[in-house]
Amino acid sequence: MDNERERIRQQLEEELEPLTFSGAERVLRQTHPASRSGRLHAWWNKELEIPLRPLGAGAAIVLLGIVLVLAPRGESGKEQEAGSPPGVRELIVAGGNTYWKDIYEQAVRRVEH
């Protein structure tokens, strides 16, 4: 077993002998930069590992917060008619166009005053 292992090792070394690694200097410059710009370049090209679950959860929380803050609120009591139940709006036709009655009346009041 040991003899066979040595034979395989010798054969591998013979096959790989013509191959040489010529980029040692370049690799050393990239991994151990001497100048400030070289260190900055190495830091800029550093690989980052960002876990997706915490990132996704954070994005979902931020999105939910934005939706809750910017979501339209219900109509106030002043804008609704006293006789109509909350959430029920009436459509009217004026000048060939269709409008919500409460919005149309507000616009008319603004124009009259």
Q: Is 104 exposed, middle or buried (0-12, 13-18, 19+ CB in 10 A)?
A: middle
- Is residue 76 classed as helix, strand or coil in its secondary structure? coil
**pTM of the model as a whole:** 0.31
Instruction: Indicate if the pLDDT at residue 95 is higher than 80.
Output: yes
Q: Report the residue count for the chain.
A: 113
**pLDDT tens digits, residue range 24-83?**
888 887 778 788 888 888 788 888 888 999 999 999 999 999 988 887 765 554 554 555
The mean pLDDT value for 9-35 works out to: 85
